[in-house]
Amino acid sequence: MAFKVPYIPTPQEIIDKAFSRAVKASPPKARDPLKNKKNIAIVRIRTAQSVINSALTKILENYPDPRKMHKFYYELIEVSFGVHKIRRALDRIKWGRRLINKVADSLVEKIKMASDVKPIEKYRKTFYGRAASIIEDLEDDLLTLKKGGAVISSLPTINPEEPTVVIAGYPNVGKSSLLKAISRAKPEIAQYPFTTKGINVGHLKLGWRTVQVIDTPGLLDRPLEERNEIELKAVLALRYLATIIVFLIDPTGHCGYPVEPQEKLLDEIKDTFSRIPIIEVETKSDIMKRNNDRLKVSVVTGEGIDELLKRIEVILSGKKRKDLRDYPSPK
C-alpha cells in the first residue's frame, strides 16, 4: 500500500505565488475614483487570500492522516517520526489558514467602509504584511510535514488487510530461500524502519486466497533484549500485520548459531506474539533431521514444502483474520 503525499511548498513559494497573482489582479474600472481604489484593493487581497488558502487546503485535504491508517502503518510512523508531530503541524496549518481568512475579511470590511482614498492602500499593505508573517510563522510546520511525508512515502508497500505469513529466525537459517521456494514470483524488497536491507515480500496462492509472505532480515532475527526501545517498537508493529509466523531453526549450526539461542528467540517470539499462531520449522533437513515434532523442510530437495503450505492453509481456513484493532498499543 503506497501513500501519496502532496507537495509541501516553502513559505516563500506560497508568498511569492500569492503576491504575484495579486498584483496582476484587476477588476473592471469604476467611474468613481474611490470606488475604483476600493475594488482594486479588495480584489488583490482576495486573490492573495485565495492563493494562500488553496495552498494550505491542498496540504490539509491530501496529507495522509496516520490516525486513519491501519495500525501497522500508524505504529511505524509513530516510531519512525512521531504521529504527534504531524498532527501538530497540520493543526498549525489550519490555524494559519483560519487566521489569514479572518484578517482578510476584517480588512476588506474596513476598505468597504473607507470614506477616502488614503487608508485603502494602507489596509492592502497591512494584509500583505500580516499574511506573509503568518505564512513565515508556519515554516517549521511545513518542514515537519515535508520530513514526515518522506517517512510516509518510504513505508513498506504491504497490504495489511491480506493474510500475512511472517518468516522469522536467526540470520542464515534459510528464511530468504524459503520465501523464494514458496512465492509465485521473485520477492520484492520493501523498505522498513531500522533495517538496512529492507524486508522481502512475496505472494502465494492458497485456494482462493492471496497470501503475503514476508522475510524479516534485521527484525525477528535476534533477541529482543539486544534492541533499543525504538527498534523494539518497530518489531512490535509486526503484530498488527502477521496472521501467522513461521519460525525457522537450523539444527545443523551452519547458520553460525547453536540451537539453544535459536530456541530462546522462539520462546521470546511466542511470548511477544502470543495471539498469533506460530509454525515451528527445522530447515536443511537434507543435512540433518532431529527426532522432534517440528516440521522438517529442505529447499534443496523440496521436502516439507507442501506440508508447510497445507498447515498455513489449515490455519487460515480455520480462523477469520483477527481484528487487530483490539490489540493494545506497544508500550
- Polymer length of the chain: 331
Residue 50 CB coordination number (10 Å): 15
Instruction: Judge if 202 and 129 occupy the same domain.
Output: no
Instruction: Judge if 84 and 47 occupy the same domain.
Output: yes
Task: Assign 9 a pLDDT band (cuts: 50, 70, 90).
Answer: very high
Is the pLDDT at 164 greater than 90? The verdict is yes
The mean pLDDT of 172-183, rounded to a whole number, is: 90
d(CA 282, CA 278): 13
Number of separate domains in the chain? 2
Q: Are 52 and 131 in contact (CB under 8 A)?
A: yes
Instruction: Judge if 168 and 140 occupy the same domain.
Output: no
Question: Residues 84-111: pLDDT tens digits?
Answer: 999 999 999 999 999 999 999 999 999 9
d(CA 56, CA 185): 43
pTM of the prediction? 0.80
**Rg (Cα) of the chain, in Å, rounded?**
29
Is the pLDDT at 196 greater than 60? The verdict is no
Question: What stretch of H or E contains 153?
Answer: helix 139-153
> Which of 104, 134, 153 finishes a domain?
153
Strand partners, 268: none
Question: Residues 266-280: pLDDT tens digits?
Answer: 999 999 899 999 999
Q: Are 245 and 277 in contact (CB under 8 A)?
A: yes
- Does residue 90 lie in a domain region? yes
> Which of 153, 173, 204 finishes a domain?
153
Q: What is the CATH number of the domain that holds 79?
A: 1.20.120.1190
- Does residue 1 lie in a domain region? no
Strand partners, 166: 214, 245
Q: Which domain holds residue 321?
A: 164-326
Instruction: Judge if 168 and 305 occupy the same domain.
Output: yes
User: In this predicted structure, what is the pLDDT of residue 192?
Assistant: 66
The angle at the Cα of 222, spanning 217 to 224, to the nearest 5 degrees, equals: 115
User: In this predicted structure, what is the pLDDT of residue 325?
Assistant: 33
The mean pLDDT of 26-34, rounded to a whole number, is: 90
Instruction: Judge if 215 and 114 occupy the same domain.
Output: no
Intra-chain end-to-end CA distance of the chain, in Å: 26
User: In this predicted structure, what is the pLDDT of residue 318?
Assistant: 81
Is the pLDDT at 62 greater than 70? The verdict is yes
Instruction: Judge if 168 and 316 occupy the same domain.
Output: yes
Instruction: Judge if 20 and 149 occupy the same domain.
Output: yes
Helix, coil or strand: residue 244: strand
Q: Are 249 and 169 in contact (CB under 8 A)?
A: yes
